Structure 1
Amino acid sequence: MITEEQMAEFRKLLDESERPMFFFDDDPDGLCSYLLLKKYAKKGRGVAVKSSPVLGAQYSRKIQEYGPDMVFVLDKPVVEQDFVDEARVPVVWLDHHPPVHLSGVSYFNPLLNDEKDNRPVSYWCYRITGQNQWIAMAGCIGDWFIPEFANDFAKEHPDLLPAVVEQGQMLYDTPMGQLSRILSSILKGSTSDVVSCISALEKVREPEEILNGTTPAGRYVLKYHKKINKVYEKLLHKAMEASGNDDFLVFTYPMTKMSFSGDLANELLHRLPGKFIIVARMKSDTAAISMRSKSHIIPPMLKLALEGLGGYGGGHDHACGGSIVVKDFPVLVERLREMARHN
């Protein structure tokens, strides 16, 4: 957990910053974490860190361009020391992935106090700000987590969350789940499109604005989602067709300007809960992979499977991501298949 004292410390840092800059992961949890802090602070600029779990020194250029007095990093599993060193301003990092220790960082992670507590970053941002519960719900649902305030939210908004059910049903069978998936969609595409969608989201006050398209900002976000979703649905259909009779599903698709690996892996796991899911976006020399399983603890399996191979990866117990050179991808798959068969 993150203690009340630690949340107060984080809030104080945010309050005292006059020109904050936010770097956040490009998924619903990361985006909702940013929106919660931005709407609370009413200041600062956000940058979605796309295409990699690593926040590296190449992003220091963004800091130099904006000139913040403090940098906040949200939901990024890896931050390079060079990024911190080149920032030249205080760096505050709020995360829920396996703890990492860097110098010169104010670091907040529930796993430091409880090794079993990996509640999403959007959950903690809501606890810190106490505002915009609907945004926190969308972020938590997108990260397959049901917060303790879900029952109260369902009672107050039965049209958005008819009942508190299991995580997959909440994400794929409720309006709030639809909202979370919309937020995932708008993080795909060109940088200019993503920036425009995030700018529109900052103007939205209620979820119905997006779900029902009742305001210009909401309609803008919904229209963009529908465009992206057409591409996603075609890939999902192909992935479902690739499913065989065994309990291991591997789906690959060629590199495009948009990555759908995490979204596909999540929905495939919901639709095919008994399978070990691997989705890979194949580039010329590397494969970006997403792995899901309800019955296997993936990180230790992945660590062993990567030994001697050109790749890296990690994540949560039942959801991991990574990257591997294309020539080693078949070896990785077979190693994971063999481990899954004996676990």
Structure 2
Amino acid sequence: MIYKKIANTIKKIDNALVVTDNDPDGISAAILMKVILNRLGKEYGIVVRDHRKLDNLRDIIKNHSSYSSYIFLDSPFPDKDLIEMATNYKDRVFIYIDHHKRAIPEELPENLKYYDIRALGMEIGSTAGIAYKVGKNLFKNDFKRYSIIAMIGAIGDWMVDEDILEDFNSEYKNRFVQNKIFLYPTFILFNTFLFGNSKELVENGELLIDNPYAFFSSIDYDFISKRIKSFYKKIANLEKIYESEKLLVFKSKGTISIIASFIHVLYPSKILIIVSNTADNFLEKIFPRKYKVSVRCSLEKMDVGKLMSEFTSRYGIYGGGHPAAAGGKIWIKDLGKLIEFLESRI
């Protein structure tokens, strides 16, 4: 069983740097991994990476060279970079836990432990769900109290796991915890984990279970309120570019991933595309050439992650993701081609 293998791998390490994404799934997975490492008595550090940027794996390792192990959560670094790092640092262990990849590389260094559940042919779930099941494998039903955190990550990636939902319902349904704060996952997701400070959330996340009052007291809700207002302002200012029976395209001024997930609920029968100008340098801010793209789809037998990967392999720059949620970066001039490409595949 894969979760037992991951648990056994983690038990063998002395210390680890946990590298995670800054979206709700990555944040939730990191909180759960913190609980696991704390219970196992392991020393660790945490780096929260910005999923809007292409972090350099070499720099992460170089800047945190004191660790003997590295755990990557919800961080789909290119396989060639993972293999290169493992090859260059044979005295260290690299543990890759994710759900983005579609195949396992043919040759893996012995010190690269590759646990991508999609690549392994398993049912696709959230990274937080993987971490939760690892914790439950280690600590049995006592770990069910953290199902609320796993649910937040699962909802954030639109990948609610029935087993985790069952655990959550058995632990929290119709229940209040100390200080009468009711833990309702969608509230926490959209008002705290989605808009809060990711580093603070990872640092204080386990308090959500052990001391909810302290957790909520640690949250800067003025910061969250400003982000929510900005978010809804961007929704109000969306510009519709294209609409057909099965496809809908909007242009936004930013935050496209969250907006795409939010708007898709209103149009579940369509493939939804949100684009926004993106710039890699000052000149591109003046003369935009690239779009960042976020795609959502609930249509059966449609895999927009695969389609984005196929399209960008032809027209560049990059793209990919999950069957129901994908993203990438394209040239502005190629948006029409992307629309035609997706229309032809519906």
The TM-score by the shorter chain falls in which range?
Answer: 0.7 to 0.9
Paired position in structure 2 for 1:278: 273
Alpha-carbon distance in structure 2 between the residues aligned to 1:150 and 1:240:
37
Deviation at 1:216, TM superposition (A): 5.9
Task: Classify the secondary structure of the residue corresponding to 2:194.
Answer: helix
Partner amino acid, structure 1, of 2:97? L
User: Which blocks of at least 5 consecutive residues in structure 2 are unaligned?
Assistant: 137-142, 177-182, 279-283
Alignment match, 1:77? 76
> What is aligned with 2:49?
49
Larger CA deviation: 236-245 vs 86-95: 236-245
Question: What is the aligned partner in structure 2 of residue 167 from structure 1?
Answer: none
Question: TM-score of the superposition, structure 2-length normalised?
Answer: 0.77
After superposition, residues 175-186 of structure 1 pair within 5 angstroms as: 175-181=184-190, 182-186=192-196
Aligned to 1:58: 59
Displacement of 1:12: 2.6
Partner of 2:118: 111
Cα distance in 2 for partners of 1:86, 1:306 equals 26
For residue 238 of structure 2, give the secondary structure of its aligned residue in structure 1.
helix
State the secondary structure of the residue aligned to 2:298: coil
- Mapped to 1, the partners of 2:59 and 2:8 lie a distance apart of 29
The 1:216/1:176 distance shift into structure 2, 3 A limit, reads closer
Alignment RMSD: 2.9
Which of 3, 6, 29 matches 1:7?
A: 3
Match of 2:169 in 1: 154
Shift, 1:221, TM fit: 4.8
- 8 Å Cα contact 2:19/2:72 also seen in 1: yes
TM-superposed CA distance for 1:179, in Å, is 1.5
d(CA) in 1 for partners of 2:240 and 2:80? Answer: 43
Distance in 2 between residues matched to 1:153 and 1:23, nearest whole Å: 26
Q: 1:203-262 CA distances to partner (integer Å, 9 max, x unpaired)?
A: 4435x93xxxx326544254432222111111122338778675422222235xxxx222
Sequence identity (%): 19
**Does 44-53 or 269-278 show the bigger shift?**
44-53
Deviation (angstroms), 1:303: 3.9
Measured after TM superposition, the shift of residue 22 of structure 1 is 0.9
- Matched to 2:186, the amino acid is G
Partner SS state of residue 209, structure 2: coil
- Deviation (angstroms), 1:80: 4.6
Identify the residue that residue 168 of structure 1 maps to in structure 2.
none
- The question of whether the paired residues in 2 share the 8 Å contact of 1:201 and 1:221 is answered with no
In 1: Cα distance, 2:49 partner to 2:23 partner: 10
**What SS does the aligned partner of 1:317 have?**
coil
C-alpha deviation, 1:307, in angstroms: 4.9
The answer to whether 1:312 aligns with 2:318 is yes
Secondary structure of the corresponding residue to residue 315 of structure 2: coil
Q: Which one-letter code corresponds to 2:320 in the other structure?
A: G
On the 8 A contact 1:81/1:103 being kept in 2, the answer is no
Of 53-62 and 272-281, the range deviating more from structure 2: 53-62
Aligned residue pairs total 306
- Structure 1 CA distance, aligned partners of 2:19 and 2:218? 26
SS at match of 1:71: strand
Equivalence for 1:164: none
8 Å contact 1:313–1:323 — kept in the other structure? yes
CA distance in 1, matches of 2:119, 2:234: 38
1:200–1:218: 8 Å Cα contact kept in structure 2?
A: no
